[in-house]
Structure formats: structure tokens, C-alpha cells
Amino acid sequence: MYKSFSMELAGRTLTVDIGRVAKQANGAAFMRYGDTTVLSTATASDKPREGIDFFPLSVEYEEKMYAVGKIPGGFNKREGKASEHAILTSRVIDRPMRPLFPKDYRNDVTLNNMVMAVDTECNPEVVAMLGSSIATCISDIPFDGPCAATQMGMVNGELVVNPSLAQKEISDLQLTVASTREKVIMIEAGANEIPEAKMIEAIFKAHEVNQEIIAFIDKIVAECGKEKHTYESCAVPEELFAAIKEIVTPEEMEKAVFTDEKQVREENIRAITEKLEEAFADNEEWLAVLSEAVYQYQKKTVRKMILKDHKRPDGRAITQIRPLAAEVDLIPRVHGSAMFTRGQTQICTVTTLAPLSEAQRLDGLDEFEVSKRYMHHYNFPSYSVGETKPSRGPGRREIGHGALAERALVPVIPSVEEFPYAIRTVSETFESNGSTSQASICASTMSLMAAGVPIKKPVAGISCGLVTGETDDDYLVLTDIQGLEDFFGDMDFKVAGTHDGITAIQMDIKIHGLTRQIIEEAIARTKEAREYILTEVMEKCIAEPRNAVSKYAPKIVQIQIDPEKIGDVVGQRGKTINAIIDETGVKIDIDDSGAVSVCGTDQAMMDKAVKYIQTITTDFEEGQIFTGKVISIKEFGAFLEFAPGKEGMVHISKIAKERINKVEDVLSLGDVVKVVCLGKDKMGRISFSMKDVPEEA
């Protein structure tokens, strides 16, 4: 049965059609927000996938280029693999929804969001987030929803709910908050040094809006929701836990996990697992879930140690950061390098500078962001965690971590006018045991400064964890979580910023939301930690950006020309500019405003290219001195080239002070001479003289 529901959301109408399309999916919502249109579907397999110990959820966000009236580029003119923006949006949808599915559910679930039309006033990402929640809630798939999501901006100091693309362009805040009925379940933010108090205000303003949306979803579910299907639970039998504890006591398990060496802990758990496999060799049913049972046993042990005994596996205090180290210039010949180490997490970031033509071009649904000159890439090889597997390029995790670090650093990157370079930082994970993304922010800040990039302020990042008990008041926030505390804890709350404010947040949780008290404590704890990292470690390693780029980095000179003269510099079919490039070996970028960037490593050749461009764009006036090369000799005079595509003539009578019979008596092809401009002759042509050049010229 087809039903349509509508609500007013941030001054625009959100409409949800149920039963209109995609009726064979477990749940489908045809979403419209303004003219932005997204089809969201939820489907699940009939039976659990065998041989896995995780919930197999896939979230897809499909950007259809027809949504913005474009035909895809390339030869086959089809949408290809998902863009990085689409991957990041899929992750933002996944993170709040995943904790709301049953923990023992192993059926494959796919949430698909197809963007079919984009209204620049209404962001399709928000529509897809709400559509995924609605489609799942009305389906027969077990789900403890609903959840809702709202984006917040801040324009001229005022908070804006679900900002338009135009508002996002000038906003100091890009915040996405997802909520359940009572708590905040996901936070993602990029900010221009927003104070902690203002960030908290924005988070809970979004949370209030989410409650209105959840009430709207409840109405849809009441009228259209299906009964949830039963499923085959993959929970570990309680009798198996009891049998394990008879063989491995809680004290033995605590001793096995209580170490700051990841490899030692893994070896201890491996020995325990082998001991249990031998004990249960005749029970195939128990052997099938033994690894999950050992994982759960570790989890309960670690959580009890932390929450009840205030003991962390590596012996640190609750607010203590692991040992820190920082250094720069460890990689020779690159434009900038730095390494940041925090315990067993170690990141090396390398900075590369290039002309603006190397900026990344973007082809997506966002009409405003067509390119970006600062790029941050993050790599996570298997050796960083002591594993072996072939590299297949960056996955969704690597793309997400790279985008988080990029978002944290963008607010401090200098403008094009201040620093006319394209900038790429690459963070290589040498070792991983918790929060490599935040370590990459620290390493990248130092690498940028070492490369001579005049960033406005240094940025540091840190992550807090959480272990909760039976009530909202029974919890413990942990500063600087390591891998084990992330795996077995309830939260990974990453915050990056300068001394003056927050530049990025990413919050992942495994429970059904956080109270305001927990969020405020986590934000306060991360501020304290990043201040320490900045002051005591990073700034002691490198206090400020170097005043010059590396000798191995390209040098860039910027000049401004009359935009009307751009065509003269480029020449017909690029002939003039290519001639300059061929002769000098530089790279030249010109934008529509007439800003010209000349990039090279040989200063003399760069100066020559600049001189050519200035000559080409100069209107010849009486008294100006030029240097030109003889390119043609006639009976009546010589033609000189002052720059590629810029020529003039010296009459035979103006070549020498004394009378000459032939031009060849003084000049030969290829000679380089100085001339002075005499102005226009009777026919309006520019004339030059060699004999009238002042002696001091």
C-alpha cells in the first residue's frame, strides 16, 4: 500500500513515500527533501553467513551524475567505482546504525542509497542517512531504531540547521550528529577552530532536531512497519563460558591481557586458545565458536579491570598518555618529513609540494568543490600490526582516516595567495596499536612545518575511550586508548585541534548512544591531552614552520597580469606558453584573474620565464628598454623577438650611430641586443632603436 508522509525540517519539506517503489526490498523509502531525491533500501539474507564472527553490514551511497545534469567522464560514460566522497558518506551512515542491530545477528544486510536528484539547498547526505534509518525501521530486519541525523553549520557565528551548499561554503563548522531517542550515537565534524563550548552547543542543537525527526519516523513505522523476523542467534552458549572458566580462571585471563606489549598479549591469548582447543577437541559445536568465546572472555576481563578496578591493560593511569616521541627530517631529499610515536603507534608523514596545476580535480555531485589543493593520504600496511597480506590499495578505512586528518588540517593550511602550492601529505603507518589517525595528524603538522609550509597553527589529535556499566552514571572515560581498549571498549572519540579550538571530531561507539555528561567529559579530556602533546612534544621538536621550502622542492614565483592579456601569454593553441616552457623548463599556471605562477627548480630559468611573461603583457611605450634576439634580417632593418610571440623591428637607420650600408654589417641572426622603444610611427607601428639606448641601460 502506497503512503506518503511529510514534515517541515529546517524550513524545507521532507517527504517520504512508502510502498511506491522497490517493493521487493525488505524496506524501501523514496525520499525527497526540497528537490533532492534519494531512494533508500534495506535488504537482508534469509540465513546467516557461515564461518564469520561479525555482523556483515554493507552500506552503499551511489552518486548518479544525472542527479546534477552531468554525463560521467571517461570512455564508457558510466558511473565507475564509488568516489571518496561517496565512501565517506557510506561510513557516516554505517557508524550510527551498526550498533543498533543485534550483536548476535549474522545475516547479510545491505543498505543502499541512490542519489537521483540534487537540490543545492538540500544536502543528499542527510536524506540518505534518514532514508537508511526509515527503510530499516519499516522492514522486517531486526533493528533497535530509529536513529536520525542532522547536519549543523555556523555562519557569522550563528548555528544553521542542515545548511545549503552555499552556506557550507562559508561555514566555520561542518557537523553531523546522529541520535537515538535519548542519546547521541555518532558525531562527525570539521571546524575552523571552534571552541569546545560552542561545539557542545551545536551537537545538542542537532540532537534536539533529531528528536523531531524520530517522532516523524515513529509515525511512519506505526502505519507501515513490518513485524521483525526471527533469526538464528550466533551467541556463544553460556555453558561454554562456564566450561572455559573452569580451565582458564579469571585471574589467569587477567594476567594474560595485563601487559603493554601487544605481541606478548597476543602470544598469551594464543596459548590459552590452544589449551582450550585441546580440551574441547571432541566438541565440534563448541570449537566452531571458541574464538568468539575467547574474545568475549577477554572483553569481559578487560572491561571489569578498567571499570571496577581502574586498571588498564598496560598499567597506565586513566588519564595518562602513552610515551610520546617526535622527530623531523628522517627521510632525505623529500620536501618535508616527520615521525610521531605514541606507545606502539608510529606514523611517518611525508610532505610534497607542487605547482597549483597538480591540485586534485573532483568530479561529483558537489557543485562548489571542484578541486582541492591540499590532499592527505593515509596508508595502513599489514606489517604495522604484525600481519601478512598483499596490498590492494586503500580500503574504506584508509580513505576515512585520511579524510579525517585532512579535515583536521585544512583550517590551518595557508591560502593560495600566501603559499601558491598544491600540497600533499602521505601518512605511512609503521606501527599500529590504537588511534593511528590522530597520530597522523600530529606527524603531518610537523611534516608540513618542516617542509616550510606556513601553517597558521600546529594541530594535534588524540582519542578517548569509554567503558560503561549497567547505568548511565556507571562509566569511565579513558585518555589515549590503545587497540585493546578500542576493541573491548564502547567508544572511540577522536578530537583534533589547535591550542585555540577544535578542527575535527569523529566519534564511533558500540552502544546505543552517549549522554551529554560523557560527551562533555570526553571533549574536555581530549583538550587537555592535545594541549600536552602540542606543548611538550610537537612544539619542542619543531616550534614553527621553516622560513623557506627545501632545496629539493620546486620554487614558485607569482605575478599578476592583466586578465585581458592571458590570451597573449598562452598564444594560438598554446604556442607561446609552450615555447616559454620548452626554453626554460618551468611550469606555468594562469587562472582567470590573471594570477600567474611560475614553478621550477632553477631560479635563473624561472626569472627568465617571468621576464618573458612581463614582456609579452607589457604595452610598448616610448623610453622602455628591452632585450631581444635577432630572428630575421631585411634590407630595411632587423626583426627582433623579445619574448615568444612578441616581436618588433629596428630600422637600418636606428641600428648604429654611424651610417651603415647593410644590416649584416652590424647584426647577425641570433644576436641578442638592447633596444629602446621610440613609440609609434606614422602608420601606428611600434619602432625601436639600438643607437638611442642610454649608456646606463
Annotated binding-site residues for Mg(2+) read: 486, 492
Give the residues across from 596 on adjacent strands.
559, 590
Enter the C-alpha cell of residue 33.
527533501
Enter the C-alpha cell of residue 536.
611538550
CA-nearest of 509, 461, 498, 505 to 203 is 505
CA-nearest of 45, 42, 36, 44 to 63 is 36
Q: Torsion over CA of 366, 370, 375 and 380, rounded to 10 degrees? A: 50
DSSP 389: -
**How many H-runs (helices) and E-runs (strands) does the chain carry?**
17, 29
Relative orientation angle of helices 290-307 and 250-257, to the nearest 10 degrees: 80
Residue 660 CB contacts under 8 Å (≥ 6 apart), including other chains: 652, 666
The phi and psi torsions of 423 (rounded to 5 degrees) equal -130, 130
Q: Which helix (H) or strand (E) holds 43?
A: strand 36-48
CA-nearest of 575, 308, 542, 555 to 447 is 542
CA-nearest of 353, 492, 503 to 442 is 503
Question: Annotated binding residues, as ranges?
Answer: 486, 492
What b/e readout covers 166-188, taking b as 16+ CB neighbours within 10 angstroms?
A: eebeebbbbbbbbbbeebbbbbb
Tell me the residue type at 349: T
Residue 294, classed as helix, strand or coil, is helix
| CB of 596 closer than 8 Å to CB of 606 | no
- Rounded Cα gap, residues 179 and 214, in angstroms: 9
Burial (CB count within 10 angstroms: exposed 0-12, middle 13-18, buried 19+), residue 304: middle
The DSSP bridge pattern shows strands 173-179 and 184-194 to be antiparallel
CA-nearest of 414, 265, 260 to 345 is 260
